[in-house]
Structure 1
Amino acid sequence: MYKIPSFKSHYSASDVEAVMKVIDRAMFWADGPEIDEFERNMAGYTGISHALAFNSGTSALLAGLLAIDVKGREVICPSFTFIASANTIELAGGTPVFVDCEATTFGLDVAAVAQAITPNTKAVMTIDYGGCVSRDILALRALCDAHGLLLIEDAAQSFGARLDGVHAGAHSDFAIFSFCQNKVITALGEGGGLVTRHQSIYEKAKYLRSHGRVDQPGKKHFETSQDNEYLFPGYNFRMPSVNAAFASSQLANIASNLALRQTVAGYYRARLDSLPMVRQPAAPERFSHCFQMYTVVLPSHACREQLKEHLLAAGVLVRGYFEPLHLKPYFRAKNKDLVLPVAEALGQTVLTLPMYPTLSEESVNYICDLIVAFASQSGHLEMVQK
């Protein structure tokens, strides 16, 4: 066990109470009214008209890609991201086309995307990394519109982030969120969401989520004695009722959760501003950061690795999010000559520090004391401002 973990899930008594109400009912632990309630709450909070709950962000992304039919088509996507971003494209029958990211928020670089568009391109998928909407999202929207392409936001890490006061996902044709245990809000361990303004994407993803099944008017599957019709083969990607109840309760308290994350980020900023060797996360002007992660950038791979081992040895769990996907064996075999300088540099130098709402100032000081000591003892003394 680490003295300070990379994350801790945050919950309140109201979250537990919401779950117990479902359990005590002893009915509709699946497909209960909590699903519809959470979807209404998600749509209301994000300001995006259609919302669907899934059992994971990965399921949501796969359903969305299947809904827009990328089979046999190319989807331009980041390499500096979690493996699900590319895996789901392949599982939906498409081809991931990796392009480089920008070095500010780590989303797709619009200039790199423009160069990668071909007649076979169907969509562009960017990532809203670590708690901030992609810097180039508006330019990507304009580029996609000009070329008749769909824009997808993998906003798994950025529920609660905004641009000009507008929630993550609002500028894309569809976006997905993760409600896994380490995210800003969680659906009791695992969960995901899909949001879209397009009725057609919403309807197709909704059927895909549950075997392609058409429910009886006004009745759920477990409420009727009649058999259902099935439009096409689908999956069981449904979120259980207890998870939806927990997620709705978490969403009701998201303002305090986000405020606590901002406080923790403030602790880090105050302590690490004196270390030029550490580039801290910061939202561009007009953007708000929800700090799902607190990822810093170090000056070199050697420095990152040494600091990582220094922190791990002191009981602080850190890791580098992410290693570029085009360098992973499966995708490397398909992209042997691909070089993405920004993504590769980030993969060598990023380090994600612990971040969660209940992380104390004392714990942040402990982490930062270790970083300062490392800088002083490892040849980076000149990088510590006196």
Structure 2
Amino acid sequence: MYTYVTKPYLPPKDEYLKRVEAIFDRNVLTNQGPEVQELEASLGKFLGVEHVQYVTNGTIALQIALHCLDIFDGEVITTPFSYVATLSSILWERCTPVFVDVEEENFTIDPQKIEKAITPRTKAIMPVHIFGYACDVEAIEKIAREHGLKVIYDAAHSFGSRYKGKALSAYGDISTLSFHATKLFHTIEGGACVIKDKAVSDRLDFVKRFGHEGNTHIMLGINAKQDEFNAAMGNTILPHLGDIINERKRLSLIYDDCLPKTMRRPAMQQDLEYNYAYYPVLFENEQALLAAFERLKEHRVFPRRYFYPSLNTLPYLKEYQACPISEGICSRIACLPLFVGLEDALVETICKEL
């Protein structure tokens, strides 16, 4: 049996099938059906926010966030230490990514370097709450306010994390979430936008549904709406989220106790209630990382180089923007297996091999 960095959580089958039966009885499969409406309401309640739009995935969430904030061109400041979807969304909307290097301690975008990267063409800042750890949201908000910029957080990893008692995804003009099957909360495939302003939320609601209501065409839109079966999975999993996070925390504490103390981890911010979305570790160098991967392979354990490579080095970018801290971290970071159902003994074996 192989052990990968994550394994999708599946709720009790009978709970999900009960919802599936109701979908069959209603014969409403999509177009903002009851399951989607229930999930949006439940997400809003869980996050303590008013405006949540459930969409097909986390990447389209970023794209329509840019669109609905009128970021059609110009520069978007972002981090090179993220999954490629962060960059893809900026390029797909015909904007220019401007990379700002990350902080050495917690690997999130460095606010002190953001201001130096602002030009007359800057339209927005797109930071990322890496691994569920918080960006310096106060500093970023201050910079954005002083320069009249929009803030779109890629909060794909942050569901369940809270900062100063507030959901991490409640910060920014829009925060986007991913509910991919690998996430601690998922809808098989899916995502969401958490929007501060009601008018922007109403616009995004139209945009995700082709931009029309009946025969009245209001604006340019796209198909980003999600179906009832995916929403039903989310509605089934959400009540179990507390148990999911607690189990991931328990496993993380075993890693904490057993791993060599010389292995670095991202620094957790004060006032952060963490969701234990991932267990990243930083090796001394790339050679040590690759050697550890070979040892773990003998146990059929496969961690993931996450994130690799640093986004500023991708070959299809027009120009190279140096980000030495991100590039250094990307060369020697890995996420270890962490999921509900992971056996304690295997965690201890992984630690022993490291």
Q: Which moved more, 1:189-198 or 1:4-13?
A: 4-13
**Contact map agreement 2:81 2:310 (CA 8 A) in 1:** yes
Quote the Cα distance in structure 1 between the aligned partners of 2:231 and 2:18.
9
Query: Partner amino acid for 2:235?
Result: S
CA positional deviation for 1:35:
0.9
**Contact map agreement 2:107 2:266 (CA 8 A) in 1:** no
For the pair 1:99 / 2:100, whether they are aligned, the reply is: yes
CA positional deviation for 1:18:
4.7
CA positional deviation for 1:26:
5.3
Q: Superposed, which structure 2 residues align to 1:131-210 within 5 Å?
A: 131-134=132-135, 136-187=136-187, 189-210=188-209
Structure 1 unaligned residues grouped into runs of 5+: 215-226, 372-386
For the pair 1:78 / 2:62, whether they are aligned, the reply is: no
SS at match of 2:177: strand
Question: What's the counterpart of residue 269 of structure 2?
Answer: 284
Query: Partner amino acid for 1:163?
Result: Y
Structure 1 vs Structure 2 CA RMSD: 1.5
Question: What's the counterpart of residue 243 of structure 1?
Answer: 230
**Contact map agreement 1:64 1:205 (CA 8 A) in 2:** yes
Query: Partner amino acid for 1:355?
Result: L
Q: Identity rate of aligned residues, in percent?
A: 28
Question: What's the counterpart of residue 314 of structure 2?
Answer: 328
**Contact map agreement 1:132 1:162 (CA 8 A) in 2:** no
**Contact map agreement 2:52 2:192 (CA 8 A) in 1:** yes
**Contact map agreement 1:39 1:53 (CA 8 A) in 2:** yes
For the pair 1:314 / 2:299, whether they are aligned, the reply is: yes
Quote the Cα distance in structure 2 between the aligned partners of 1:233 and 1:144.
27
Question: What's the counterpart of residue 279 of structure 2?
Answer: 294
**Contact map agreement 1:70 1:89 (CA 8 A) in 2:** no
CA positional deviation for 1:175:
0.3
1:95-149 C-alpha deviation (Å, 9 max, x unpaired): 1111111123321100111110111111101101112222x12111111111111
**Contact map agreement 2:23 2:228 (CA 8 A) in 1:** no
1:212-260 C-alpha deviation (Å, 9 max, x unpaired): 122xxxxxxxxxxxx4212223111111111111112211221111111
**Contact map agreement 1:282 1:289 (CA 8 A) in 2:** no
For the pair 1:364 / 2:347, whether they are aligned, the reply is: yes
1:321-366 C-alpha deviation (Å, 9 max, x unpaired): 11211111012xx223x21011101111101100112212112112
Quote the Cα distance in structure 2 between the aligned partners of 1:23 and 1:207.
24
CA positional deviation for 1:20:
2.0
SS at match of 1:269: helix
Pick from 255, 270, 282 the counterpart of residue 257 of structure 2.
270
Question: What's the counterpart of residue 30 of structure 1?
Answer: 30
The alpha-carbon distance between structure 1 residues 162 and 64, as it changes in their structure 2 partners (threshold 3 A), is: same
Tell me the number of residue pairs that the alignment of Structure 1 and Structure 2 aligns.
Answer: 351
Quote the Cα distance in structure 2 between the aligned partners of 1:92 and 1:184.
28
SS at match of 1:75: strand
CA positional deviation for 1:21:
2.9
TM-score (normalised: structure 2) = 0.95
Question: What's the counterpart of residue 328 of structure 2?
Answer: 345
SS at match of 1:53: strand
Quote the Cα distance in structure 2 between the aligned partners of 1:153 and 1:93.
18
TM-score (normalised: structure 1) = 0.87
Question: What's the counterpart of residue 9 of structure 2?
Answer: 10
Query: Partner amino acid for 2:291?
Result: Q
CA positional deviation for 1:11:
2.1
Structure 2 unaligned residues grouped into runs of 5+: none
1:272-314 C-alpha deviation (Å, 9 max, x unpaired): 1xx1331134522211221211110111111112112222232
Q: Which moved more, 1:248-257 or 1:54-63?
A: 248-257
Question: What's the counterpart of residue 48 of structure 2?
Answer: 47
SS at match of 2:224: coil
CA positional deviation for 1:171:
2.0
**Contact map agreement 1:123 1:149 (CA 8 A) in 2:** yes
**Contact map agreement 1:100 1:108 (CA 8 A) in 2:** yes
Q: Which moved more, 1:148-157 or 1:7-16?
A: 7-16
1:76-109 C-alpha deviation (Å, 9 max, x unpaired): 0111111111111121221111111112332110
CA positional deviation for 1:316:
0.6
Quote the Cα distance in structure 1 between the aligned partners of 2:100 and 2:169.
21
SS at match of 1:253: helix
Larger Rg: 1
SS at match of 1:76: strand
Question: What's the counterpart of residue 111 of structure 2?
Answer: 110
**Contact map agreement 2:20 2:232 (CA 8 A) in 1:** no
CA positional deviation for 1:15:
4.5
